[in-house]
Amino acid sequence: MIYFDYAATTPVDKRVIKSMMPFLNEKFGNPSSMHSFSSETKKVLEKSRVIIAKAINASSNEIIFTGSATESNNMALKGVAFAKKRGHILVSSIEHDCVLNTAKWLGENGFEIDFLPVDKYGIVDPKEVEKRIKKDTILVSVMHVNNEIGTIQPIETIGKICKKNNIYFHSDAAQSFGKIPIDVTNIDLLTLSSQKIYGPKGAAALFVKDGVKIEPLLHGGGQERGLRSSTENTPAIVGFAKATEICLSTMEKEQKRLTKLRDKIIATLIKEVPNCYLNGHQTKRVSNNVNVRFSSIEGEAILFMLNSYGIAVSTASACSSPKLEPSHVLSSMGLKQEEAHGSIRISMGRWTKESEVNYLLKILPEVVKKLRDISPHK
């Protein structure tokens, strides 16, 4: 099988596994204990925090370890909402479900929620953010890179607008961290994930800027500055930090390599396959993402036929694709239901080879032709 679904999750790098191993057995102590078993785990936990903080130009006390990006996003939105008690929240309409559904839930529980529109490329206009800010706006949440279409949002500009208006700004960077440089100077809360950057599942973080007040979702022993009680998952956090170090040290070279492969896929498909279109922006997109649509056929049919040729891609995002509803991201960009349904996401990563891309480019046009030959929608 050839894997083209790195945006859903990544395999754990062998160097990451090696870094984690000692903390699964001989160095197993609880970082909160007082004896010698804990001193090493406490040290490595804080070292990991420094590595992750440095990667986004933050201080280590601003990094709260969590169990997943979903948890970090819930913590950011509910944490601010519960601390402020009431108010107006702006979120983009193309957020991951874990932000959208959290916002909707807050909307049913006393907060006013507004969804920011996007243009035909799936990009939020900062002027639209400024226009929709109200007297009682407490939080704006706009993701850095969209998980389906890979478009990069102008979070620097949006962050500055929020700062000027004294409003907290949160960004979900699960798809950009490790791929694009991030600086949190104008960001108050930022979601980071380990499982998208060749680290283990079960580790993630929320950057919470010094002075930003949030209520914890979990109450207990008071770990993570009292914001996330639970014994820290030391092995996974060590792996997360190692994965971060590897991504940072290879970022520039890797992004150049993947951008070349990405642009080759896009150009070849658009040239060789009739009625094939790119979803999202041509250049304001993350290096590893291709999202294309084909008229008259279903993305799911393409996915299953490619799978039979040993190629794994996805439709919409991995978490929402079983719903078989048109993607909310593509609908927000103005695509009609039938256009959205013919879309697939091809996402690449550390082990994607040019020979694999060439195989995909040989098979995919054949698959589209076969499906169109039997399609009732011609």
Ligand X SMILES: Cc1ncc(COP(=O)(O)O)c(C=O)c1O
Compute the least distance from the CB of residue 238 to ligand X, in Å: 18
CB atoms within 10 A of CB 355: 9
Residues contacting residue 195 through CB under 8 Å, at least 6 positions apart? 9, 10, 68, 201, 202, 203, 204
DSSP codes joined into one string, 171-186:
EE-TTTTTTS---GGG
**Sign of the alpha-carbon dihedral angle for 19, 21, 26, 29:** positive
Cβ 187 vs Cβ 171: under 8 Å:
yes
23: its two tokens: 């903390």
Among 42, 84, 96, 285, binds ligand X (CB under 6 A): 96
Cβ 212 vs Cβ 205: under 8 Å:
no
Among 10, 147, 223, 343, binds ligand X (CB under 6 A): 147
Question: Which of the stretches 66-74, 215-223, 282-290, 365-373 binds ligand X when contact is defined by CB under 6 A?
Answer: 66-74
Question: Which of the stretches 153-161, 171-179, 209-217, 250-258 binds ligand X when contact is defined by CB under 6 A?
Answer: 171-179
**Closer residue to ligand X in complex, CB, 24/319:** 319
The answer to whether 133 contacts ligand X (rule: CB under 6 A) is: no
Residues contacting residue 149 through CB under 8 Å, at least 6 positions apart? 94, 122, 279, 280, 285, 289, 291, 329, 330, 333, 345
The one catalytic residue in 98, 162, 247, 319 is: 319
Compute the least distance from the CB of residue 376 to ligand X, in Å: 33
The answer to whether 102 contacts ligand X (rule: CB under 6 A) is: no
**Closer residue to ligand X in complex, CB, 22/154:** 154
Helices (H), 56-87: 69-84
The answer to whether 289 contacts ligand X (rule: CB under 6 A) is: no
Cβ 73 vs Cβ 103: under 8 Å:
no
Compute the least distance from the CB of residue 299 to ligand X, in Å: 17
Among 94, 116, 174, 357, binds ligand X (CB under 6 A): 174
Strand partners, 89: 113, 139
Helices (H), 56-194: 69-84, 97-107, 126-132, 155-164
**Size of the residue set binding ligand X (CB under 6 A):** 14
Compute the least distance from the CB of residue 209 to ligand X, in Å: 20
The answer to whether 291 contacts ligand X (rule: CB under 6 A) is: no
**Closer residue to ligand X in complex, CB, 98/238:** 98
Window 177-206: contact mask with ligand X (x via CB under 6 A): ----------------x-x-----------
Among 10, 68, 234, 332, binds ligand X (CB under 6 A): 68
Based on the residue annotation, tell me whether 98 is a catalytic residue of this protein: no
The answer to whether 175 contacts ligand X (rule: CB under 6 A) is: yes
Cβ 6 vs Cβ 314: under 8 Å:
no
Among 172, 232, 254, 298, binds ligand X (CB under 6 A): 172
Q: Which amino acid is at 96?
A: H
The answer to whether 327 contacts ligand X (rule: CB under 6 A) is: no
Kindly list the residues in this chain that would bind ligand X in the complex (CB under 6 A).
68-70, 96, 98, 143, 147, 172, 174-175, 193, 195, 317, 319
Q: Which residues are designated catalytic?
A: 319
